Amino acid sequence: MKGVFRARGLVDGLGWGKALISKSPISFLEGVDPKQGKIIDKSHELFGLSIDGKVLIFPYSVGSSVGAYVLYKLKENGKAPSAIINLKSDNVIVSGCAIAKIPLVDMVEGLSLIRKGDFLMVNGSNGSVIIY
């Protein structure tokens, strides 16, 4: 184990997987395909990459509140991230993760220490992130 970091737990549950990190916000309505679980926004730094089973790290979401429904559809289709970490979560992400039962935390101490591909466990219930 490399470290345990405190966070603000927003949606209960445990999620683990490899970190997929974006410095840019994500629009779930127009930027993510809920059937394939891939970033489809051609201008996004993660274009073409799968979010399925990853711990998806990004600053916040942009776009319509319908993005929350896209998170639900991702989960329903078995293509959702295992957990989400934000710098600061917004209503779209919180509500989408809540209905899809995707663990969510934000305001992680030590977030800058996480690298793409690190194996993480996110605990939305107690507000912690573990890097393995």
Could you list the active site residues?
64
Q: What is the β-pairing status of strands 55-58 and 14-21?
A: parallel
How many C-alpha atoms does 32 have within 13 Å on its Cβ side? 29
Distance CA 50, CA 56 (A): 10
Q: Are 129 and 105 a contacting pair, CB within 8 Å?
A: yes
Which among 22, 19, 25 is positioned nearest to 115, based on CA atoms? 19
- Would you mind telling me the total number of residues written for the chain in this entry? 132
